[in-house]
Chain A
Amino acid sequence: MFILGTETVRFFQLSGVSVWDFLTGTKWTPTFADAHFGILPLVAGTALITVGAAVIALPLGLAAAVFLSEYADPRLRRILKPVLEVLAGVPTVVYGFFALLHITPLLRSIFPDVQVFNAASGAIVVGVMILPLVTSLCDDALNAVPRALREGGLAMGSTSYEVTRQIVIPAGLSGIMAAFILAVSRAVGETMAVTLAAGSTPKLTWNPTESIQTMTAYIVQISKGDTPAGSREYLTLFAVGAVLFAITFGLNILAKVLVKRYRMVYS
């Protein structure tokens, strides 16, 4: 953390870029002769991927968790849980390979104007990648809801759907929100899949068919080349890393606060 901080400060000192320009600039061309250091395009790229992934993973993950905790047979559960864990352990570079060579051609056959590198394909695989995490954490949150609450609802003649929607999910809501936030934070920090699938053109766009660049992909792009220590490119790595760290750290803290509040209710 300390290292990240000092190198970031050195970046601002050395490059003569003000913090304000860095955070609000809309042009990111650090390696060009006419260098601009506005991080917004990278942040927007990351946001595009994250939002897309969240749209896929959060509803699916919650529904799967509801199935696991409310409907599934204990035997089926014993099979599905380890499967989820194994899926969570698939290396991200594998998802990147899959996105570039299978999802993208599929998207291009449906929508011809999709570029070879595009945000949509990256968002889809990141969504699938965080799905096991969402399911597993939501499942834990739902399981922590006391049985008595469910039985009370069922005894009043409610159907399982009504019990789930009106009792179990509200009772486990802070745990579910925490799961969502942790998953989003994973998606923000995700590197290899988006580097392979989404391309490396920092661009301020909301169009998922275009090629973009995320903060993580930028770090990979620069560090693949041999950057001399102390050079401007080298220092931008740390400035971008600091922003990335701040975002994920903030999200994780938020999740922790929610879980803490949630624990106080039932202990």
Chain B
Amino acid sequence: MAFAATGPLGRRRKLADTVFRVVCFAAVLVACAFLAYLLISIVRDGIGRIRPDFFTSFSSRRPEEAGIRASIFGTLWVIGLTAAVAVPVGVAAAIYLEEFSPKNNRWVSMIQLNINNLAGVPSIIYGLLGLAVFVRFFALERSVIAGALTMSLLILPTIIVVSQEAIRAVPSSFRDGALALGATPWQTMRTQTLRIAVPGIITAIILSLSRAIGETAPLITIGAVTFIAAVPDGIMSKFTVLPIQIFDWTSRPQPGFHTAAAAAIICLMVVLLLLNLAAIVIRARTQQRI
């Protein structure tokens, strides 16, 4: 009997079940162990290097004196400008696509398909695009603004798609109620839909900005410099960012720079973890409310 739970065959089936369960659990454990190893070894490498002067000094030829001041300010400039460009455009595009665009329109569905596809394009391709369009064509050179515009392009699809999902999740009864009371579509949008969708949209913004903070490749392609001893003083100045600083230090032969890179990674990871935590908390709180 194939389905008997006893006898040699049944025992073998039970054994297979147990083995499978253990293998699947082991897969989770292996993944977690690897990541724990990664985090612990980086912290061990770098924690001793985190001193006040690490944050206040510029990069240096001597590894013991190298600091991340220029890259912290560079990151703040780039991410600030990226947010200033990408957030309004992205949220507006999401609102338009979700609420105001004509339904069953060929152009709209083509744009939608394009946005979804763009989200899967490797980031370095955006870097090439930024190099050709912003750095060369608009002659912005290797400036903060060129970096921020490239980053905006990179995160726009994510902001649009995730914001759209947040807007779509608003029950249509809210909209219908407002419309039935004589509100214009714009008033409905502003007072009902957006107000409820805001936590989801904020989560989208936080997650995509944290992705932008960790991105290296597109900024290298547009030519962010790795050695710079000045804080950006305007949108046209040269810049470096934390991940590029890490990349540069890692690829040098001296072990002292590797320690500095590990310390910089710790700073970067702390910021990213805090942002992710904020996103998770916001999401958990909204889930409770609805």
A162: chain B residues at CB < 8 Å are 13, 16-17
B117: chain A residues at CB < 8 Å are 249, 252-253, 256
Within 8 A of B (CB), among A129-175: 131-132, 135, 156-162, 164-165
A-B contact count (CB 8 A): 196
Q: Mark A226-251, 1 if CB is under 8 A from B, else 0.
A: 10010000000110010011001100
Min C-beta distance of B273 to chain A, whole Å: 7
Q: Are A85 and B276 interface neighbours, CB within 8 A?
A: yes
Q: How far is the CA of A71 from the CA of B19 in the complex (A)?
A: 13
Q: Are A219 and B120 interface neighbours, CB within 8 A?
A: no
Tell yes or no: A41 within 8 A of B by CB: no
Chain B residue with the shortest CB-CB distance to A157 = B3
A128: chain B residues at CB < 8 Å are 31, 34-35, 38
Tell yes or no: B223 within 8 A of A by CB: yes
Q: How far is the CA of A248 from the CA of B41 in the complex (A)?
A: 33
B31: chain A residues at CB < 8 Å are 60, 64, 128, 131-132, 135
Min C-beta distance of A150 to chain B, whole Å: 14
Q: Are A96 and B247 interface neighbours, CB within 8 A?
A: yes
A238: which of B121, B128, B273 is its contact (CB, 8 Å)? B128
Tell yes or no: A201 within 8 A of B by CB: no
Q: Are A71 and B24 interface neighbours, CB within 8 A?
A: yes
Q: Are B247 and A192 interface neighbours, CB within 8 A?
A: yes
Q: Are B125 and A94 interface neighbours, CB within 8 A?
A: no
B20: chain A residues at CB < 8 Å are 160-161, 164-165
Chain B residue with the shortest CB-CB distance to A81 = B280
A226: which of B37, B223, B273 is its contact (CB, 8 Å)? B223
Given A97-B250, A131-B31, A219 and B268 touching (CB < 8 A)? no
Chain B residue with the shortest CB-CB distance to A92 = B216
A60: chain B residues at CB < 8 Å are 27, 30-31
B211: chain A residues at CB < 8 Å are 89
A3: which of B120, B129, B215 is its contact (CB, 8 Å)? B129
Q: Mark A87-99, 1 if CB is under 8 A from B, else 0.
A: 1011111111110
A93: which of B129, B131, B250 is its contact (CB, 8 Å)? B250
Q: Mark A53-81, 1 if CB is under 8 A from B, else 0.
A: 00000011101101110110000000010
Q: Are A89 and B121 interface neighbours, CB within 8 A?
A: no
Q: Are B214 and A93 interface neighbours, CB within 8 A?
A: yes
Q: Are A86 and B273 interface neighbours, CB within 8 A?
A: yes
Tell yes or no: A258 within 8 A of B by CB: no
Q: Are A241 and B16 interface neighbours, CB within 8 A?
A: no
Q: Are B122 and A188 interface neighbours, CB within 8 A?
A: yes
Given A3-B133, A161-B20, A82 and B250 touching (CB < 8 A)? no
Tell yes or no: A40 within 8 A of B by CB: no
Given A87-B35, A96-B250, A161-B16, A67 and B128 touching (CB < 8 A)? no
Within 8 A of A (CB), among B109-132: 116-117, 120-125, 127-129, 131-132
Q: Are B123 and A191 interface neighbours, CB within 8 A?
A: yes
A-B residue pairs in contact (CB < 8 Å), sample of 29: A3-B133, A60-B27, A63-B27, A67-B25, A71-B24, A86-B273, A90-B38, A90-B214, A90-B269, A93-B214, A93-B243, A94-B38, A94-B214, A97-B262, A97-B265, A101-B45, A128-B35, A135-B31, A157-B5, A159-B13, A162-B16, A162-B17, A196-B251, A219-B127, A219-B221, A220-B221, A238-B128, A248-B121, A249-B117
Supplied contacts A97-B258, A224-B226, 4 more A-B pairs, CB within 8 Å: A68-B28, A162-B16, A223-B131, A241-B128
Interface residues of A (CB under 8 A from B): 3-4, 7, 59-61, 63-64, 66-68, 70-71, 80, 82-83, 85-87, 89-98, 100-102, 128, 131-132, 135, 156-162, 164-165, 182, 185-186, 188-192, 195-196, 216, 219-220, 223-224, 226, 229, 237-238, 241, 244-245, 248-249, 252-253, 256
